[in-house]
């Protein structure tokens, strides 16, 4: 099973992003825009995980998630990996409470459970909006969306998601855990 852990933003926040990018979808040659139903913020990508590991993975992820408080977040700042001039991934950034400790805990729990392909790249909070097979200059796209800032929202749950790759990627939520209530103030 190909698995990852993620935050899934509320529909009303994703609606704002959809409206902002709508005039650009289909306008950049070579840029593929995945279905909005697949939008998420990846906390940890685990790759192929044997089914036998799933029960321990769920236990470890539940424990990791409970140690962290809900997060107050906002989408702002479009960008691209590896750079806007030589991009393969177009994304929107996430600001607010830091997700780095949560992402680190989730990845550590997955490793302890036996998910050996856990991604070790430095965490960069973002939501992927489009991909290109070849490097593409996305500077005009990124610049045209400068100044966008979405509505604040609270991330209160982490999901374990199974990915079914192929021409039409689809996701299945296998489990979901609540983060601890946010600290007042």
Tell me, what CATH number does 60's domain have?
3.90.1140.10
Closest CA to 73 of 3, 10, 2: 10
- Give CA separation, 118 vs 7, 57, 107, in Å: 17, 12, 6
Q: Dump pLDDT digits (tens) for 121-148.
A: 788 999 999 999 999 999 999 999 998 9
Tens-digit pLDDT profile for residues 108-126: 999 999 987 767 778 899 9
In a domain, 139, yes or no: yes
Alpha carbons 81 and 62: distance in angstroms, whole number:
31
Catalytic residue list contains 40? yes
Catalytically annotated residue among 68, 124, 126, 157 = 126
> Which of 40, 68, 124, 168 is labelled catalytic?
40
- What's the pLDDT tens digit per position in 15-26? 999 999 999 998
* Domains contained in the chain, number: 1
Q: Please confirm, yes or no, whether 68 is among the known catalytic residues.
A: no
Query: Which residues form the domain of 44?
Result: 2-178
- pTM equals 0.92
184: in domain: no
């Amino acid at each position: 099973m190909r698995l990852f852990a993620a935050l899934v933003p509320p529909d009303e926040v994703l609606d704002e992003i959809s409206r902002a990018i709508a005039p650009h979808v289909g306008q950049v040659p070579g840029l593929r825009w995945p279905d909005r139903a697949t939008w998420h913020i990846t906390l940890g990508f685990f790759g192929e995980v044997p089914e036998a590991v799933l029960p321990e993975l769920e236990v470890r992820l539940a424990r990791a998630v409970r140690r962290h408080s809900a997060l107050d977040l906002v989408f702002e700042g479009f960008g691209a990996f590896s750079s806007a001039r030589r991009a393969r991934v177009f994304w929107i950034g996430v600001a607010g409470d830091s997700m780095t400790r949560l992402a680190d805990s989730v990845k550590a729990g997955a490793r302890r459970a036996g998910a050996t392909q856990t991604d070790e790249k430095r965490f960069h909070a973002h939501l992927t909006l489009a991909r290109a097979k070849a490097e593409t200059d996305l500077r005009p796209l990124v610049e045209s969306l400068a100044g966008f800032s979405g509505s604040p929202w609270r991330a209160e749950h982490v999901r374990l998601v199974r990915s079914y790759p192929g021409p039409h990627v689809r996701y299945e939520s296998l489990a979901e855990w609540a983060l601890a209530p946010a600290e007042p103030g």
